[in-house]
Structure formats: structure tokens, C-alpha cells
Structure 1
Amino acid sequence: MSFARRTTASTTALLALAALAACSGNPADPSQDPGEGGAAGNELTVVTHDSFALPDELKAQFEETTGYDVTYVAPGDGGALVNQLILTKDSPLGDVVFGVDNTFAGRAVEEGVFAPYESPALPESAAQYAIESLTPVDMGDVCINADTQWFEEAGIEVPATLDDLTDPAHKDLLVVSHPASSSPGLAFLAATVGAEGDAWPEYWDALVANGVKVVSGWSDAYYTEFSGADGEGPYPLVLSYATSPAFTLTEDGSASTTEALLETCFRQVEYAGVIEGAENEPGAREFIDFLLSPEVQASIPENMYMYPVDDEVELPADWASFAPLSSDPIDVPADEIAANRDQWIADWTARVIG
């Protein structure tokens, strides 16, 4: 899968970042005493998931504007990220985190991983996604994707619904990621709970009987096991995103070789937060504000497959055709996920993994 990179120049955003740096007292001038910028001076450590893809130009812009020397640490998928934040909370991995999603956020908040921060840069359109101590940055739908070329060549109809995935006609065709280690995996588990109610364990029994494969994370599923996109795996159905088909266009751009099954979608929101105990809390706050800047929000679709939370940002032209959001995503309230997540994962593991 190719990642088309798009960056935009925004004089207003650059001036805003400069103003933020000046107001916080952080040294935009590298010759200034690093100690004047806070306990950590010019050092800032950003912890992310392994699908974080902010363009190098924007990373450099942030460093140049603020004077920070930024290190990026990626301990794994979204689930692994939260696990590491919790395990290391007495000796934090860094100052600020991006990539905690709404399926794992409740667990991290309960564990006291984040310091309170409410960004003044938060756009009105993002207020609906706000969670205590966390700032929404992007959103999208986690859905099953199909390799439409494979189905056409096999003469099999592409499934449409969750129930279709249990049809014997689709036996041994689906790969998903593990809900304990993958945020898309947990999102899909939540989707099955939302759709099937108390019968969700029996639904997974049916998926197992129909040959579903489980791997640790999204990258393994999409890039290794999936037959579509750049993959050469044996599975033509994969857990991914509604936006993924926009990155699998034919050479002339007139069609996509994959499609998202929009009746299987769960709405995922990704957050940034100041890590409790951060050595550079002012810098952490500046980085969160930076993620909400117009130029970073504009870079999100073509770099991280997601929609920006700022709905005034112009989207890529082909997204209307190839990356629409579901009109009716499966909904499970965040507080319900937080209250039941661990039990769901335990029950799922017992039935699916054994």
C-alpha cells in the first residue's frame, strides 16, 4: 500500500506555533540556556503507535518553531501502546502520547496515565469526542475490507454484513487482529458486541468454525496476510479501515481494488495526552496543540488513513468515492467498553484462542 504524502503550508499555523513557543517560555533560540525551557530543557519524547506517520517536514517544522529536540518512541500497535504506558507509569516512556483510541482510553485513564490538559486549539467539531484528560486528534471507521479482485476472479459474492462472514461460502477467508494487543482488534470485538448483544460469544464461535485467523496487530493482518493492496497473503477479507480503499486505487485512479464493508464498521477516535510525570509537560502540551494545527490535520488523511477531527479541513478528492465513513456505524458507548473490556477480552480469548 502506498502512502501518498501531502503537506500544506500555513503561515497562520506557523505564527500560532511561534506564539505558543513564546508564551510557554520554551527556547525557540537554540543558543538559549536549555534549562530555561523546563525540567527537560529542549528534549521532548513523543510516544506513539507503530502506524504513526507524521510527515518529516512537519516534524522538522515543529522542532524548528519550538526549539525542541524530539524523539519518537513506538512500542507497538494501539493496544500494545496502552499496555506499555500502564506498565511504565512509574517511570514514563515519554512526555506526550498519540494513538490511544476510544476502546483503550478508559483503561489508561483509570490507571492514571495522563495529566489533565484541555487544548485551546480543539476545533468545535471535535468536542463531541472529548474524553477526560485526552484530546481527540483523528477519527475513522474500523471495518472489514475485501479484495474485490480476488472475489471477482473466484466468482464469489463479496460479503456485506457481519453475519455474512459466518457463511460457509466465506470459510477460511477472514483475518483479524487480536483485541488484547490491537486497537482495531478491540474495535471489531466491540462491534460484534454492539451488533450481537449477549449472543456475541456464539457469533465468535461461528467465526472460528468458519476459519477466521487471528494475528497480533493490524500491520500483520493487512500487509502480510491480506491478499489485496500490496499484500500477497491468502486472506481476501481483512480487518482494516473504511479509508483503506482510497490507497488501493487502480493505475488510472478510476477504481479501487478493495472495498470496505460499511455495515461492519465501528467508529474509532484516536487521542493525544500529556503523560503523568512528564519531564517536559509544557512541550507535551505544545505538541498536542501542534497535532490540532491546520497543516497537521490536513496531513492525516493521506498519511494515517484517518479523518481529521477538524471538519473544516479539505479532504483528498477521491475520499468521497473510495473512503466514505459509514452512515450507521455500530455504536458501543465508551463507558460500556471501559466497564466490560477486560471481561470481553478474557471471554474472547478463552473461546477463540483457547
Structure 2
Amino acid sequence: MRRTTAAFALVTTLAMLTGCSLIGGSGATPAPPGETKVVLLTHESFAVSEGLFAEFKKQTGITVEQRALGDAGALTNQLVLTKANPLGDVVFGVDSTFASRAIDNGLLDPYQSPEAAKGPQRYAVDGSGALSAVDLGDVCMNVDLAYFAQKGLAEPKSLDELADPKYKDLLVVSDPATSSPGLAFLLNTVAKFGEDGWAGYWNRLKANGVKVVNGWETAYKQEFSVGGKGNRPIVLSYASSPAAEVGQDGKPKTKALLDTCYRQVEYAGVLKGAKQPEAARKLVDFLLGEKFQAQVAEQMYVYPAREGVALPAVWQQVAPQPRQAAALPAAKVAEGRERWVEQWRKLVQG
């Protein structure tokens, strides 16, 4: 649910490189004699059920050591900077907004997991076979149900309606230059309104009082009106967010607007130059397998990429996966991402 501080600036990335830590220690620890260890590089929001990697070790004899390196943007940047001497064997958390950068920089060894045919292959980036989809996180507008009920105001149904004067000063979003969901929303506006229309749409949002903050944490936990923490009843978040906002009466406090969503896919891949490539491939298989996929919703508030994996009961009621979500081809994102962000800065902040 948190994808908050994409690092576009090289200075920020280098600073994070010097400050990152290894779970369980300050640096990679050698495996005991006769033991195989695979290092898994992830974003900071990675979570896994207790004992699941112990079960993987029992099945394969492979120990997993996880290293968190910031969010999707920071993670990808660090992979680029350390390409000649990779920090690990497997990466998880490069998302669809940065996937083309990882592939174009030759960071990954092609690997087609036999588990990919169970659903993840639907989200393949290109023909390289370098990344396997693990989960989906649809970025959507969320609304405070109590606010709209009390005001007798209909909820907005589309991106277009967010610019309607009746929703003036109600919306808070995160900055696409510093936030992964913010970037997803910018890409959503490009997908919806096109190269010639997205800037005009942002002009309308700006005139309608949209508030832009640095990241998801600030938008959702400080500015959003749910829980009385802020005064903005429309916030940029995730389709899964309402599952975390169910009251003691079993009723949701928020709702995701499923016609406003942009699809983010998170991938795993084997790093080129991995010290344990065979073990790395087995770990990718495990990440796509049934047991790991069954717990991604509760652990990371994302939807599993594998077909046939049941969502938690409360998700089925209040956080169903959008049937259709906008998405731009990876190559188009790679070509336009930084240009669009720079144009957005001048338009909205300049």
C-alpha cells in the first residue's frame, strides 16, 4: 500500500546507497560452509508471512537474505549504479513504471519461470523474459464515504469529474517526481487524455484546488479526512486501501473509485552477475508459486499476479480488483516519463 518516495535524483540515490542496511546485519553475511544463500533485493514495502522463507529453505536447502533498498524508483536506480557489481541475486519490486529502464540497462538475465504460465505471463513487459510479474497494485482515487453522505454530495465517478467545481478543494494527490503512486496518476492522465490533452487536464485540476504533497504517507495519513486527520475527502491511493479502513461494524469507511485506476505491476527477476543464479531462479519460481501468492494481499496490500488465488474475504467485499485499469506500454513510459514529469513540474509547481 505504500509506494511513496521514488528517487529520480542521482544524489538521493547515492545517499541511500550509503545508508541502506541489510536485514539481520549491516552487510551481506557469508553463508556457512555447505549452505547456499540467495540475496533478495526489494523495495522498502516488501513483507512476507513469518516462516515462509524457512519453508522455502526446507524445500530447497537455500537460505534467503533480504535487503531493502528504498521504493521502486530508488531500487531501480541502485541496480543501475551497481550493475558492474550487483548487490544481490534476485530483485523484487521493480514496477511497470521502471521496468523498461531495468531491461534497457541490461540488469537482468532472461528467465522464464514455469510458474509464469499460471497468470504472471499476462503482464510480461516485452519479449525479453527478464521480468516475471508477482503482484498488481492499482492506483485509484479513494473517497471518504461519511463526508459525501453528510454533504449529500454524489461521489465523483471519473477523472473528468474530479475537475468539476463541485469538488473544488476536495482532492489531494502525491507528487509524481517524489512518489510512485503520484507518477502512476500522472501516467493515468497521459493515458486518458493523450499527449495533447493531459496538461490541459492538470490545469483544470489546479484551478479546482488540487493539493499536491510529497508522497502517499502525507496525502493519506495527514491530508485525507478519514479519521479526522485532514480535510480532503478525495485522496490518491490504491484499490486495496478500503480493506484497511473497515470499522468495527464491518462496514468500510472508504471506497476506491474503480473507473479512475492505473495499473502498477511489480516484477521479480534474476540479476545479471548473480553469485547464485540457479538458486535465484528457484526463488523466482517460489515468488510466483501458490504459497507466496496466497499471502501477498494481506502482507503487502496488493493483488496476486497468479490466477485462481483467492483474496481475503474482506477484500472481496470492499476491495475488489478493478476489471479494467489504465496502463501505458512500458516503452512509451520509458520514452516519456522524465519529460512528462518535468512538464508537470513547470505546469503545477512552476
If the TM-score is normalised by the length of the shorter chain, which range does it land in? Answer: 0.7 to 0.9
Q: Secondary structure at the match of 2:191?
A: helix
The farther-off stretch of 257-266 and 303-312 is 303-312
Q: Secondary structure at the match of 1:123?
A: helix
- In 2: Cα distance, 1:99 partner to 1:110 partner: 17
- Percent of aligned pairs with the same residue? 50
Q: Secondary structure at the match of 1:187?
A: helix
Aligned residues of 1:140 and 1:268 also touching (Cα < 8 A): yes
Match of 1:59 in 2: 53
Match of 1:8 in 2: none
2:123 paired residue among 120, 123, 129:
129
Does residue 72 in structure 1 map to residue 72 in structure 2?
no
CA shift at 1:261, angstroms? Answer: 0.8
CA shift at 1:64, angstroms? Answer: 4.1
Deviations 1:257-280 (A, max 9, x none): 000111111122111111222233
* Over 6 Å off, 4+ runs: none
Match of 2:244 in 1: 247
- In 2: Cα distance, 1:231 partner to 1:277 partner: 50
AA aligned opposite 1:352: V
- Using the size of structure 1 for normalisation, the TM-score is 0.81
Q: For 1:50-129, list aligned pairs within 5 A.
A: 50-129=44-123
Change (3 A) 1:277 1:130: same
Aligned residues of 1:80 and 1:181 also touching (Cα < 8 A): no
Deviations 1:307-336 (A, max 9, x none): 211111122223332112323322422222
1:311 paired residue among 307, 311, 321:
307
CA shift at 1:179, angstroms? Answer: 2.4
Change (3 A) 1:336 1:295: same
- In 2: Cα distance, 1:286 partner to 1:350 partner: 46
Aligned residues of 1:145 and 1:241 also touching (Cα < 8 A): yes
2:200 paired residue among 199, 202, 212:
202
Give me the CA root mean square deviation.
2.4
The farther-off stretch of 342-351 and 190-199 is 342-351
Match of 2:270 in 1: 274
- In 2: Cα distance, 1:282 partner to 1:233 partner: 50
Q: Secondary structure at the match of 2:119?
A: helix
AA aligned opposite 1:329: A
Match of 1:263 in 2: 259
Does residue 175 in structure 1 map to residue 172 in structure 2?
yes
AA aligned opposite 1:105: A
Structure 1: state its 5+ residue gaps: 2-29
Does residue 146 in structure 1 map to residue 143 in structure 2?
yes
Match of 1:17 in 2: none
Change (3 A) 1:172 1:263: same
Match of 1:185 in 2: 182
- Using the size of structure 2 for normalisation, the TM-score is 0.82
Q: For 1:210-229, list aligned pairs within 5 A.
A: 210-228=208-226
Change (3 A) 1:33 1:144: same
Match of 2:9 in 1: none
Change (3 A) 1:223 1:95: farther
CA shift at 1:108, angstroms? Answer: 1.8
Structure 2: state its 5+ residue gaps: 2-30
